[in-house]
Structure 1
Amino acid sequence: MFQDISLPDLLASQEKETHTLVDVRSPKEFNEATIPGSINIPIFNDEERAEVGTIYKQQGVEAAKERGLQIFSQKLPAFIAEFKQIETPMTVFCWRGGMRSKTAATVLELMGIRANRLMGGIRTYRQWVVQELENQQFKPKLFVLNGYTGSGKTAILQRLSKHGYPVIDLEKMAGHRGSIFGQIGLEPSNQKKFDSLLISEIRRYQDEPFVFIEGESKRIGKVYLPPFLNEKKENSLQLFLHLPVEERVRNILEDYQPWEYPHHFEEAFQLIKKRIHTPIAKQIEEALESHDFALAIKLLLEYYYDPKYEYSTKHYPDKQRITIEAATTDDAFQKILQMVKVSNQHSN
């Protein structure tokens, strides 16, 4: 018989050895939120799950079980074959640790494949995440990367991460770049997915001396930062990047690639059009329509984003700010590395 495992035991096990988590829910459920690092080997695809759910509502439990068994039996060889490729200890889970994960674990056991089943499923994990975020104390000090829109903050965070520095990339986890155009070309996260990714990163870096993070507002796209992290971010050292406007325009063009989604940019602009002086708004609109994205971005920076940014950062006292003047994003990155080295020398 397969073994049920509690969430605390599972988390402890993950710290000791490589452990594969398998979400057997439908792809849609998996994409909406899962336990970070999990893989998806679904018992039912989205259409099959909807069909079984309809039968359950209209005909009852037994009819739904019978149809579910018919569907699953046809795909059983392929289902088993995917699990055979896993070479580590594994745990399967579904929403509540019920029928789907029990079926998966039982079938695997019959085929000689050992798998645990997570007690309470992802619902228990979600409850744990919420509790952790409510009671969390994040020990590392934060270096908060700020700068006018287009200063290359995300690119710098990615480079810092590649160099082995601890980085929490809030925009990546949120699936949003933090501006009115920030969701274009991305898949925004919901709060459940964001919270799960965030608590995973917090646990990962809890014992680091410092962590880099971007100076986001409390809300990023569709999600919100937990109060403890937002408060710590606001009270931490703020690194302000100052780059020439031309460099910032180039960064934005490279990051957003507006020529790939021209209509999305025109639609998003309508949401802020009324907040910009009418003649300038008309210029921006015409530039977007003619695909002169460099001009549109330059005007948006000068007349919308830069004034907003200046207003939002006035409350930081001088002792909490370090200004980094740089000609390019690479130049800014090198200066941040030097700052970190100096900081480490002083702390040692």
Structure 2
Amino acid sequence: MFQDITVHELMEQRNTKKITLIDVRSPSEYKDSTIPGSVNIPVFNDEERAEIGTIYKQVSVDAAKERGLAIMSAKLPNFVKQFKEIEGDKAVYCWRGGMRSRTAATVLSLMDIHVNRITGGIKAYRKHVLDSLEHMQLDADAVVLQGLTGTGKTAVLKQLQLEGYPVVDLEGLAGHRGSIFGHIGLQSNNQKTFDSVLFERLKELQSAPYLLVEAESKRIGKIVVPDFLMEKKASGTTIVLELPMEERVRQLMEDYTPAAHKEHYMAAFQLIKGRIHTPIAAQIEKHLVEGQFAQAIQLLLEHYYDPKYTHTFGQYEGQALIVVSVNRVEEAVDAVKEILRNLTLKKTGS
């Protein structure tokens, strides 16, 4: 027989062993939000779930159960096969830990495939995440990368994360670069997914000596960053990156790949066009239309983003800023590493 475990018990077990989490909800539910790292083996696909829901509402509960059983019976061999291919400990869940996960766990148990079932399902996990984020206290100090648009902050963070540094890449977790053009070419996450991946990342870094983050605003696209993290950033050590204009344009061309999404960038530009001096806006639009993206980007930096962020920098007045002025993003990575090393040595007294 399968065993029920709570979300808290699941978290405790995952600290000491690998558990494969299996979301048995429909593909659209899984896509909307899931427990990070889960795989999707649905009891019903989207069409089947809709059909059963209609029967439940318009006919009866028993009729819906009978139809669900008929659908499940037809796909049972393949369903079991998918679970057999997963080695090690397994835990299944659905929306509230109800019929779908109970049915899956029962069937698998009859086939001698042991799984745990997460009571309360993803709804309980979501509550656990929100409660944890609301009351989370981070002992680690924040090291914040600041700088004008295009100074390679995200590129530096990604490289440092690849090398094992304790990076919290908020843009990466949100699936959004934070600007009016920030969603283009990316798969943006909703708030539920952002909260979950942020929670899991912070758990991974709970013993880190510091957290390395970018100086994002509270909103990244439609995502809202928790207050405790904003407060942590406000009291952290700030590193300001400076790059020449030519390198900033090159970096933005690499990050945003405008030629691959020309129409999307044209549409996004219309949203800010009215905030730019009319003759300059006309030049930018002309460059975009003609595919001269480097020229358009430089004008956007000079006449929109730089003035905008120069105002934002005012909030750091009176704080000790560590300025890194280099010619290439690769040099910025090395410079930030040296700063982090010195900060760590200073903190430990070595």
Indicate the TM-score class for this superposition, using the shorter chain for normalisation. over 0.9
Residues 1:223 and 2:251 are matched in the alignment: no
- State the distance in 1 between where 2:150 and 2:73 align: 53
Give the counterpart letter for 2:94 in structure 1. Answer: C
- State the distance in 1 between where 2:290 and 2:70 align: 56
| Aligned match of 1:121 | 121
Contact 1:28–1:46 at 8 Å: present in 2 too? Answer: yes
- State the distance in 2 between where 1:343 and 1:318 align: 20
- State the distance in 1 between where 2:294 and 2:61 align: 59
Matched residues, number = 348
Contact 1:236–1:320 at 8 Å: present in 2 too? Answer: no
- State the distance in 2 between where 1:248 and 1:77 align: 55
Contact 1:20–1:88 at 8 Å: present in 2 too? Answer: yes
Residues 1:342 and 2:342 are matched in the alignment: yes
> 1:286: Cα distance to partner?
1.0
- State the distance in 1 between where 2:140 and 2:168 align: 12
Equivalence map 1:69-148=2 (5 Å): 69-148=69-148
Structure 2, unmatched stretches of 5+, are none
> 1:318: Cα distance to partner?
4.5
Give the counterpart letter for 1:150 in structure 2. Answer: G
Residues 1:300 and 2:309 are matched in the alignment: no
> 1:257: Cα distance to partner?
0.8
Instruction: Note the aligned Cα RMSD (angstroms).
Output: 1.1
C-alpha distance after superposition, 1:3-49 (max 9, x if no partner): 11011111100001111111111111111111111111111122222
- State the distance in 2 between where 1:95 and 1:291 align: 47
> 1:50: Cα distance to partner?
1.8
| Aligned match of 1:156 | 156
Contact 1:151–1:242 at 8 Å: present in 2 too? Answer: yes
- State the distance in 1 between where 2:294 and 2:285 align: 12
C-alpha distance after superposition, 1:107-166 (max 9, x if no partner): 110110000100111101111111111111111111111111111111111110111111
Equivalence map 1:237-252=2 (5 Å): 237-252=237-252
C-alpha distance after superposition, 1:243-276 (max 9, x if no partner): 0111111111111111111111011011111100
C-alpha distance after superposition, 1:39-73 (max 9, x if no partner): 11111122222222222222221222222222222
Q: Report SS of the residue matched to 1:22.
A: strand
- State the distance in 2 between where 1:262 and 1:208 align: 41
| Aligned match of 2:327 | 327
- State the distance in 2 between where 1:243 and 1:233 align: 23
| Aligned match of 1:258 | 258
- State the distance in 2 between where 1:204 and 1:277 align: 46
- Mean Cα deviation higher: 8-17 or 65-74: 65-74
Q: Report SS of the residue matched to 1:315.
A: helix
Residues 1:34 and 2:42 are matched in the alignment: no
Q: Report SS of the residue matched to 1:313.
A: helix
- State the distance in 1 between where 2:284 and 2:54 align: 49
- State the distance in 2 between where 1:136 and 1:168 align: 15
- State the distance in 2 between where 1:318 and 1:247 align: 29
C-alpha distance after superposition, 1:95-114 (max 9, x if no partner): 00000100110111011000
- State the distance in 2 between where 1:209 and 1:148 align: 27
TM-score by length of structure 1 reads: 0.98
Q: Report SS of the residue matched to 2:11.
A: helix
Give the counterpart letter for 2:315 in structure 1. Answer: H
Contact 1:6–1:118 at 8 Å: present in 2 too? Answer: yes
| Aligned match of 1:166 | 166
Contact 1:5–1:118 at 8 Å: present in 2 too? Answer: yes
Q: Report SS of the residue matched to 2:143.
A: strand
Contact 1:24–1:92 at 8 Å: present in 2 too? Answer: yes
C-alpha distance after superposition, 1:67-86 (max 9, x if no partner): 22222222211111111111
Structure 1, unmatched stretches of 5+, are none
- State the distance in 2 between where 1:50 and 1:267 align: 35
Q: Report SS of the residue matched to 1:177.
A: coil
- State the distance in 2 between where 1:60 and 1:244 align: 68
Give the counterpart letter for 2:186 in structure 1. Answer: L
Q: Report SS of the residue matched to 2:314.
A: coil
- State the distance in 2 between where 1:78 and 1:322 align: 58
Moved over 4 A (4+): none
Contact 1:266–1:288 at 8 Å: present in 2 too? Answer: yes
| Aligned match of 1:2 | 2
Q: Report SS of the residue matched to 1:4.
A: strand
- State the distance in 1 between where 2:329 and 2:230 align: 26
Contact 1:21–1:90 at 8 Å: present in 2 too? Answer: yes
| Aligned match of 2:43 | 43
Give the counterpart letter for 1:147 in structure 2. Answer: G
Give the counterpart letter for 2:195 in structure 1. Answer: D
